[in-house]
Structure 1
Amino acid sequence: MSTAAAVDQIDLPATGTWTIDPGHAEVGFIGRHFGLTKVRGRFTGVEGTVTVREPLDLSEVHVVIDMASVSSGSQTRDDHLRSEDFFDVANHPQAVFRSTGVTTTGAVAQMTGELTIKGVTRPLTLEAEYLGHATDPWGAERAVFSAAGTINREDWGLTWNMALEAGGLLVSKEIRLEIEVELVRPEPSEES
Protein backbone atom coordinates (compact mmCIF):
# COMPACT_ATOMS: atom_id res chain seq x y z
CA MET A 1 0.00 0.00 0.00
CA SER A 2 1.34 3.42 -0.86
CA THR A 3 1.48 5.98 1.90
CA ALA A 4 1.29 9.78 1.96
CA ALA A 5 4.01 10.24 4.51
CA ALA A 6 5.31 8.97 7.78
CA VAL A 7 4.58 11.21 10.75
CA ASP A 8 6.10 10.21 14.08
CA GLN A 9 6.99 6.85 12.43
CA ILE A 10 3.33 6.22 11.46
CA ASP A 11 2.63 5.49 7.80
CA LEU A 12 -0.39 7.60 6.89
CA PRO A 13 -2.78 6.85 4.00
CA ALA A 14 -1.82 7.85 0.49
CA THR A 15 -2.85 11.28 -0.75
CA GLY A 16 -6.03 11.49 -2.74
CA THR A 17 -9.74 11.08 -2.14
CA TRP A 18 -10.90 8.08 -0.15
CA THR A 19 -14.56 7.02 0.02
CA ILE A 20 -16.34 5.98 3.21
CA ASP A 21 -17.47 2.36 3.00
CA PRO A 22 -21.14 2.59 4.17
CA GLY A 23 -21.06 -1.05 5.27
CA HIS A 24 -18.20 -0.29 7.65
CA ALA A 25 -19.16 3.13 8.98
CA GLU A 26 -21.07 4.16 12.03
CA VAL A 27 -21.85 7.42 13.79
CA GLY A 28 -22.71 6.53 17.36
CA PHE A 29 -24.12 8.69 20.13
CA ILE A 30 -24.45 8.34 23.88
CA GLY A 31 -26.85 10.33 26.04
CA ARG A 32 -28.20 9.89 29.53
CA HIS A 33 -31.77 9.01 30.51
CA PHE A 34 -32.94 10.36 33.89
CA GLY A 35 -29.44 11.81 34.13
CA LEU A 36 -28.18 8.32 35.02
CA THR A 37 -28.53 5.55 32.44
CA LYS A 38 -26.42 5.68 29.29
CA VAL A 39 -28.55 5.33 26.17
CA ARG A 40 -26.64 4.42 23.02
CA GLY A 41 -27.70 4.80 19.46
CA ARG A 42 -26.18 4.95 16.02
CA PHE A 43 -26.72 6.05 12.47
CA THR A 44 -25.89 3.35 9.95
CA GLY A 45 -26.55 5.43 6.82
CA VAL A 46 -23.19 7.19 6.53
CA GLU A 47 -21.55 8.32 3.27
CA GLY A 48 -18.77 10.69 2.37
CA THR A 49 -15.17 11.26 1.45
CA VAL A 50 -11.85 12.01 3.08
CA THR A 51 -9.30 13.81 0.93
CA VAL A 52 -5.77 13.28 2.23
CA ARG A 53 -3.35 16.05 1.24
CA GLU A 54 0.21 17.05 1.97
CA PRO A 55 0.66 18.75 4.26
CA LEU A 56 -1.95 16.80 6.23
CA ASP A 57 -3.36 20.02 7.67
CA LEU A 58 -4.93 20.65 4.24
CA SER A 59 -6.87 17.37 4.29
CA GLU A 60 -10.68 17.54 4.07
CA VAL A 61 -13.61 15.49 5.34
CA HIS A 62 -17.19 15.55 4.04
CA VAL A 63 -19.79 13.26 5.63
CA VAL A 64 -23.54 12.90 5.03
CA ILE A 65 -25.68 11.06 7.60
CA ASP A 66 -29.10 9.59 6.79
CA MET A 67 -31.06 10.67 9.87
CA ALA A 68 -33.76 8.04 9.26
CA SER A 69 -31.11 5.34 9.81
CA VAL A 70 -31.07 6.04 13.56
CA SER A 71 -31.15 2.87 15.65
CA SER A 72 -31.13 2.81 19.46
CA GLY A 73 -32.55 -0.61 20.22
CA SER A 74 -36.08 0.70 20.79
CA GLN A 75 -38.52 1.22 17.93
CA THR A 76 -40.58 3.65 20.05
CA ARG A 77 -37.50 5.74 20.86
CA ASP A 78 -36.28 5.62 17.25
CA ASP A 79 -39.68 6.84 16.00
CA HIS A 80 -39.56 9.67 18.55
CA LEU A 81 -36.02 10.61 17.46
CA ARG A 82 -37.21 10.78 13.82
CA SER A 83 -40.18 13.01 14.77
CA GLU A 84 -40.40 16.81 14.85
CA ASP A 85 -39.44 16.70 18.55
CA PHE A 86 -35.89 15.73 17.58
CA PHE A 87 -34.49 15.22 14.06
CA ASP A 88 -37.64 16.05 12.04
CA VAL A 89 -36.54 13.56 9.38
CA ALA A 90 -39.49 14.41 7.11
CA ASN A 91 -38.11 17.94 6.64
CA HIS A 92 -34.41 17.36 7.40
CA PRO A 93 -33.47 13.90 6.14
CA GLN A 94 -29.70 14.46 6.33
CA ALA A 95 -27.07 15.82 8.66
CA VAL A 96 -23.81 17.02 7.12
CA PHE A 97 -20.31 17.47 8.50
CA ARG A 98 -17.64 19.42 6.59
CA SER A 99 -14.18 19.85 8.03
CA THR A 100 -12.65 23.33 8.14
CA GLY A 101 -9.26 22.44 9.57
CA VAL A 102 -7.07 19.57 10.71
CA THR A 103 -4.17 19.74 13.16
CA THR A 104 -2.19 16.52 13.36
CA THR A 105 0.15 15.04 15.93
CA GLY A 106 1.22 11.62 14.68
CA ALA A 107 -1.83 9.37 14.34
CA VAL A 108 -4.08 11.77 16.30
CA ALA A 109 -5.69 14.91 14.92
CA GLN A 110 -7.94 17.70 16.11
CA MET A 111 -10.49 18.16 13.34
CA THR A 112 -12.60 21.28 13.31
CA GLY A 113 -15.63 21.61 11.11
CA GLU A 114 -19.26 22.51 10.74
CA LEU A 115 -22.07 20.12 11.59
CA THR A 116 -25.55 20.76 10.19
CA ILE A 117 -28.49 19.07 11.89
CA LYS A 118 -32.11 20.03 11.35
CA GLY A 119 -31.06 23.03 9.27
CA VAL A 120 -28.78 24.44 11.99
CA THR A 121 -25.05 24.71 11.32
CA ARG A 122 -22.66 24.97 14.26
CA PRO A 123 -18.93 24.43 14.80
CA LEU A 124 -17.74 21.04 16.00
CA THR A 125 -14.31 19.78 17.06
CA LEU A 126 -13.54 16.07 16.98
CA GLU A 127 -10.49 14.20 18.11
CA ALA A 128 -9.70 11.82 15.26
CA GLU A 129 -7.33 8.89 15.27
CA TYR A 130 -5.84 7.01 12.35
CA LEU A 131 -5.92 3.31 13.25
CA GLY A 132 -4.07 1.92 10.25
CA HIS A 133 -4.47 0.56 6.75
CA ALA A 134 -4.67 -2.74 4.95
CA THR A 135 -5.34 -4.28 1.58
CA ASP A 136 -8.60 -6.24 1.58
CA PRO A 137 -8.92 -9.74 0.03
CA TRP A 138 -10.13 -8.16 -3.25
CA GLY A 139 -7.09 -5.90 -3.59
CA ALA A 140 -8.65 -2.59 -2.49
CA GLU A 141 -6.69 -0.28 -0.21
CA ARG A 142 -8.49 0.54 3.06
CA ALA A 143 -7.77 2.99 5.88
CA VAL A 144 -9.51 3.05 9.25
CA PHE A 145 -10.25 6.08 11.43
CA SER A 146 -12.16 6.76 14.62
CA ALA A 147 -13.27 10.12 15.99
CA ALA A 148 -15.06 11.38 19.07
CA GLY A 149 -16.40 14.57 20.57
CA THR A 150 -19.11 15.96 22.79
CA ILE A 151 -21.92 18.32 21.81
CA ASN A 152 -24.76 20.13 23.51
CA ARG A 153 -27.72 18.94 21.41
CA GLU A 154 -29.65 22.13 22.18
CA ASP A 155 -27.08 24.08 20.10
CA TRP A 156 -28.69 22.37 17.07
CA GLY A 157 -32.28 23.06 18.14
CA LEU A 158 -32.78 19.57 19.60
CA THR A 159 -34.47 20.92 22.71
CA TRP A 160 -37.28 18.45 23.49
CA ASN A 161 -37.17 17.33 27.10
CA MET A 162 -39.25 16.71 30.21
CA ALA A 163 -38.56 18.02 33.71
CA LEU A 164 -38.41 15.31 36.36
CA GLU A 165 -40.40 15.61 39.57
CA ALA A 166 -37.26 15.15 41.66
CA GLY A 167 -35.36 17.71 39.55
CA GLY A 168 -33.26 17.35 36.47
CA LEU A 169 -34.24 16.41 32.93
CA LEU A 170 -35.37 13.19 31.28
CA VAL A 171 -32.80 13.41 28.44
CA SER A 172 -29.29 14.83 28.83
CA LYS A 173 -28.30 17.90 26.86
CA GLU A 174 -24.73 16.62 26.51
CA ILE A 175 -24.28 13.95 23.85
CA ARG A 176 -21.08 12.03 23.21
CA LEU A 177 -20.36 11.24 19.54
CA GLU A 178 -18.29 8.18 18.62
CA ILE A 179 -17.46 7.63 14.96
CA GLU A 180 -15.86 4.63 13.25
CA VAL A 181 -15.17 4.66 9.51
CA GLU A 182 -13.41 2.46 7.03
CA LEU A 183 -12.28 4.21 3.87
CA VAL A 184 -11.68 2.69 0.46
CA ARG A 185 -9.29 4.16 -2.06
CA PRO A 186 -10.86 4.07 -5.54
CA GLU A 187 -8.87 2.37 -8.25
CA PRO A 188 -7.03 4.83 -10.51
CA SER A 189 -8.92 5.48 -13.73
CA GLU A 190 -7.77 3.25 -16.55
CA GLU A 191 -8.16 6.20 -18.93
CA SER A 192 -5.47 8.22 -17.08
Structure 2
Amino acid sequence: MSDTTSPTREINGVRLPAAGRWRVDPGHAEVGFVGRHFMLTKVRGRFTGVDAVIEIGERPEDSQVKAVIDVASLNSGDTTRDDHLRSPDFFDAEKFPKITFVSTSVTWDGTGGTLTGDLTIKDVTRPVTLAVEYLGYAHDPWDNHRTVFSASGRVNREDWGLTWNMALEAGGVVVSKEIELVLELEALREG
Protein backbone atom coordinates (compact mmCIF):
# COMPACT_ATOMS: atom_id res chain seq x y z
CA MET A 1 0.00 0.00 0.00
CA SER A 2 1.33 3.43 -0.90
CA ASP A 3 1.64 6.42 1.40
CA THR A 4 -1.64 8.32 0.89
CA THR A 5 -0.12 11.65 1.96
CA SER A 6 2.73 11.77 -0.56
CA PRO A 7 1.94 12.85 -4.16
CA THR A 8 4.58 10.45 -5.49
CA ARG A 9 5.88 6.98 -4.71
CA GLU A 10 8.70 4.72 -5.75
CA ILE A 11 8.01 1.57 -7.79
CA ASN A 12 10.98 -0.59 -8.82
CA GLY A 13 13.37 2.33 -8.32
CA VAL A 14 11.28 4.78 -10.37
CA ARG A 15 9.50 7.82 -8.90
CA LEU A 16 5.84 7.77 -10.11
CA PRO A 17 2.64 9.62 -9.13
CA ALA A 18 0.75 8.31 -6.11
CA ALA A 19 -2.28 6.11 -6.58
CA GLY A 20 -5.51 8.05 -6.62
CA ARG A 21 -7.57 10.44 -8.69
CA TRP A 22 -5.83 13.03 -10.84
CA ARG A 23 -7.93 15.47 -12.95
CA VAL A 24 -6.48 16.82 -16.18
CA ASP A 25 -6.05 20.60 -16.09
CA PRO A 26 -7.65 21.80 -19.37
CA GLY A 27 -5.61 25.00 -19.26
CA HIS A 28 -2.46 22.91 -19.37
CA ALA A 29 -3.57 20.15 -21.72
CA GLU A 30 -2.73 19.73 -25.37
CA VAL A 31 -5.12 17.25 -26.96
CA GLY A 32 -4.04 17.55 -30.54
CA PHE A 33 -3.86 15.94 -33.93
CA VAL A 34 -1.62 16.25 -36.96
CA GLY A 35 -2.68 15.48 -40.51
CA ARG A 36 -1.21 16.18 -43.93
CA HIS A 37 -2.67 18.71 -46.37
CA PHE A 38 -2.02 17.89 -50.05
CA MET A 39 -0.07 14.94 -48.62
CA LEU A 40 2.79 17.36 -47.87
CA THR A 41 2.13 20.03 -45.24
CA LYS A 42 1.55 19.10 -41.62
CA VAL A 43 -1.64 20.71 -40.31
CA ARG A 44 -2.12 20.75 -36.55
CA GLY A 45 -5.28 21.09 -34.55
CA ARG A 46 -6.27 20.83 -30.92
CA PHE A 47 -9.29 20.59 -28.70
CA THR A 48 -9.30 23.05 -25.80
CA GLY A 49 -12.47 21.68 -24.14
CA VAL A 50 -11.17 18.63 -22.29
CA ASP A 51 -12.63 16.97 -19.19
CA ALA A 52 -10.50 13.98 -18.20
CA VAL A 53 -9.73 11.96 -15.09
CA ILE A 54 -6.80 9.62 -14.53
CA GLU A 55 -7.37 7.04 -11.81
CA ILE A 56 -3.85 5.86 -11.01
CA GLY A 57 -3.90 2.37 -9.56
CA GLU A 58 -1.77 0.88 -6.80
CA ARG A 59 -0.17 -1.02 -9.66
CA PRO A 60 0.31 1.28 -12.68
CA GLU A 61 -1.27 -1.45 -14.84
CA ASP A 62 -4.53 -1.01 -12.89
CA SER A 63 -4.83 2.67 -13.86
CA GLN A 64 -7.83 3.98 -15.81
CA VAL A 65 -8.49 7.06 -17.93
CA LYS A 66 -11.80 8.62 -18.93
CA ALA A 67 -12.02 11.69 -21.15
CA VAL A 68 -14.73 13.79 -22.77
CA ILE A 69 -13.72 16.26 -25.47
CA ASP A 70 -15.90 19.14 -26.68
CA VAL A 71 -15.82 19.03 -30.49
CA ALA A 72 -16.83 22.71 -30.76
CA SER A 73 -13.56 23.63 -28.99
CA LEU A 74 -11.53 22.51 -32.02
CA ASN A 75 -8.89 25.05 -33.05
CA SER A 76 -6.43 24.65 -35.92
CA GLY A 77 -5.52 28.32 -36.24
CA ASP A 78 -7.74 28.88 -39.29
CA THR A 79 -11.43 29.76 -38.83
CA THR A 80 -12.49 28.49 -42.26
CA ARG A 81 -10.77 25.14 -41.70
CA ASP A 82 -12.17 24.88 -38.16
CA ASP A 83 -15.71 25.47 -39.43
CA HIS A 84 -15.19 22.77 -42.09
CA LEU A 85 -13.80 20.31 -39.52
CA ARG A 86 -16.84 20.93 -37.27
CA SER A 87 -19.23 20.46 -40.23
CA PRO A 88 -20.98 17.20 -41.27
CA ASP A 89 -18.05 16.59 -43.69
CA PHE A 90 -15.90 15.73 -40.67
CA PHE A 91 -16.84 15.78 -36.94
CA ASP A 92 -20.45 17.03 -37.34
CA ALA A 93 -20.18 18.92 -34.04
CA GLU A 94 -23.85 19.88 -33.97
CA LYS A 95 -25.06 16.27 -34.15
CA PHE A 96 -22.11 14.71 -32.27
CA PRO A 97 -20.85 17.36 -29.80
CA LYS A 98 -18.57 15.06 -27.77
CA ILE A 99 -15.67 12.70 -28.37
CA THR A 100 -15.01 10.19 -25.60
CA PHE A 101 -12.14 7.95 -24.59
CA VAL A 102 -12.35 5.19 -21.98
CA SER A 103 -9.28 3.09 -21.25
CA THR A 104 -9.47 -0.69 -21.39
CA SER A 105 -5.89 -1.69 -20.52
CA VAL A 106 -2.51 -0.31 -19.45
CA THR A 107 0.96 -1.79 -19.69
CA TRP A 108 3.75 -0.12 -17.76
CA ASP A 109 7.53 -0.38 -17.37
CA GLY A 110 9.59 2.30 -15.64
CA THR A 111 8.38 5.70 -16.84
CA GLY A 112 6.50 4.56 -19.92
CA GLY A 113 3.97 2.18 -21.31
CA THR A 114 0.89 1.85 -23.45
CA LEU A 115 -2.68 2.92 -22.88
CA THR A 116 -5.37 1.17 -24.91
CA GLY A 117 -8.94 2.34 -24.90
CA ASP A 118 -12.17 2.88 -26.77
CA LEU A 119 -12.29 6.14 -28.73
CA THR A 120 -15.79 7.21 -29.76
CA ILE A 121 -16.26 9.77 -32.51
CA LYS A 122 -19.63 10.32 -34.22
CA ASP A 123 -21.11 7.35 -32.29
CA VAL A 124 -18.45 5.03 -33.76
CA THR A 125 -16.23 3.30 -31.19
CA ARG A 126 -12.86 1.83 -32.12
CA PRO A 127 -9.84 0.76 -30.06
CA VAL A 128 -6.80 3.05 -29.96
CA THR A 129 -3.40 2.40 -28.42
CA LEU A 130 -1.23 5.28 -27.27
CA ALA A 131 2.42 5.24 -26.24
CA VAL A 132 2.58 7.02 -22.87
CA GLU A 133 5.52 8.62 -21.09
CA TYR A 134 5.49 9.92 -17.52
CA LEU A 135 7.44 13.21 -17.55
CA GLY A 136 7.45 14.06 -13.86
CA TYR A 137 5.86 15.73 -10.88
CA ALA A 138 5.65 19.38 -9.76
CA HIS A 139 4.34 21.10 -6.65
CA ASP A 140 3.11 24.45 -7.95
CA PRO A 141 3.13 27.82 -6.11
CA TRP A 142 -0.62 27.50 -5.37
CA ASP A 143 -0.07 24.26 -3.40
CA ASN A 144 -1.35 21.95 -6.16
CA HIS A 145 0.30 18.61 -6.89
CA ARG A 146 0.75 18.13 -10.64
CA THR A 147 1.76 15.10 -12.63
CA VAL A 148 2.69 15.33 -16.30
CA PHE A 149 2.23 12.79 -19.10
CA SER A 150 2.88 12.76 -22.83
CA ALA A 151 1.12 10.36 -25.21
CA SER A 152 0.96 9.71 -28.94
CA GLY A 153 -0.48 7.32 -31.47
CA ARG A 154 -1.72 7.02 -35.04
CA VAL A 155 -5.22 6.38 -36.35
CA ASN A 156 -6.99 6.17 -39.68
CA ARG A 157 -9.66 8.88 -39.49
CA GLU A 158 -11.89 6.96 -41.90
CA ASP A 159 -12.39 4.26 -39.22
CA TRP A 160 -14.68 6.81 -37.49
CA GLY A 161 -16.54 7.91 -40.61
CA LEU A 162 -14.38 11.01 -41.17
CA THR A 163 -14.15 10.27 -44.88
CA TRP A 164 -14.39 13.63 -46.66
CA ASN A 165 -11.62 14.13 -49.21
CA MET A 166 -10.86 15.34 -52.71
CA ALA A 167 -8.58 13.71 -55.26
CA LEU A 168 -5.72 15.82 -56.57
CA GLU A 169 -5.09 16.15 -60.29
CA ALA A 170 -1.47 15.05 -59.91
CA GLY A 171 -2.43 12.12 -57.66
CA GLY A 172 -3.03 11.81 -53.96
CA VAL A 173 -5.73 13.52 -51.91
CA VAL A 174 -6.25 16.82 -50.08
CA VAL A 175 -6.37 15.36 -46.53
CA SER A 176 -4.36 12.39 -45.27
CA LYS A 177 -6.21 9.38 -43.90
CA GLU A 178 -3.56 8.78 -41.25
CA ILE A 179 -3.74 11.18 -38.31
CA GLU A 180 -1.20 11.46 -35.52
CA LEU A 181 -2.65 11.99 -32.04
CA VAL A 182 -0.47 14.09 -29.73
CA LEU A 183 -1.27 14.65 -26.05
CA GLU A 184 0.57 16.66 -23.42
CA LEU A 185 -1.30 16.55 -20.11
CA GLU A 186 -0.89 18.07 -16.67
CA ALA A 187 -3.15 16.52 -14.05
CA LEU A 188 -3.91 17.81 -10.55
CA ARG A 189 -4.21 15.48 -7.60
CA GLU A 190 -7.71 15.41 -6.09
CA GLY A 191 -8.54 14.69 -2.48
Under a length normalisation based on structure 1, what TM-score does the superposition of the two structures give? 0.94
Instruction: Give the % identical residues.
Output: 59
Cross-structure match for 2:21: 17
Moved more, 78-87 or 2-11: 2-11
TM-superposed deviation, 1:9 = 2.6
Cross-structure match for 2:156: 152
Task: Give yes or no for the alignment of 1:72 onto 2:86.
Answer: no
Q: How many residues align?
A: 187
TM-superposed deviation, 1:134 = 1.1
| Maintained 8 Å contact 1:20/1:181 | yes
- 1:155-178 CA-to-partner distances (Å, cap 9, x unmatched) read 010000001111111100000010
Task: Give yes or no for the alignment of 1:161 onto 2:162.
Answer: no
TM-superposed deviation, 1:64 = 0.8
Over aligned residues, Cα RMSD in angstroms?
A: 1.2
Cross-structure match for 1:53: 57
| Maintained 8 Å contact 1:108/1:130 | yes
Structure 1 letter corresponding to 2:18: A
Task: Give yes or no for the alignment of 1:181 onto 2:167.
Answer: no
Please give the alpha-carbon distance, in whole angstroms, between the structure 2 residues aligned to 1:7 and 1:35: 44
- 1:99-146 CA-to-partner distances (Å, cap 9, x unmatched) read 100000111011110000111100000001110011111111110111
Structure 1 letter corresponding to 2:32: G
Unpaired runs of at least 5, structure 1: none
Cross-structure match for 1:39: 43
Moved more, 1-10 or 16-25: 1-10
| Maintained 8 Å contact 1:34/1:169 | yes
TM-superposed deviation, 1:6 = 2.1
Task: Give yes or no for the alignment of 1:96 onto 2:83.
Answer: no
The 3-state SS of whatever aligns with 2:82 is helix
Pick from 86, 90, 94: which aligns with 2:90? 86
TM-superposed deviation, 1:2 = 1.6
Pick from 113, 122, 125: which aligns with 2:126? 122
TM-superposed deviation, 1:89 = 0.3
TM-superposed deviation, 1:5 = 3.7
Structure 1 letter corresponding to 2:25: D
**Structure 1 residue runs of 4 or more that deviate by more than 4 Å after TM superposition:** none
TM-superposed deviation, 1:7 = 3.4
Structure 2 letter corresponding to 1:2: S
TM-superposed deviation, 1:55 = 1.4
TM-superposed deviation, 1:42 = 0.8
Structure 1 letter corresponding to 2:23: T
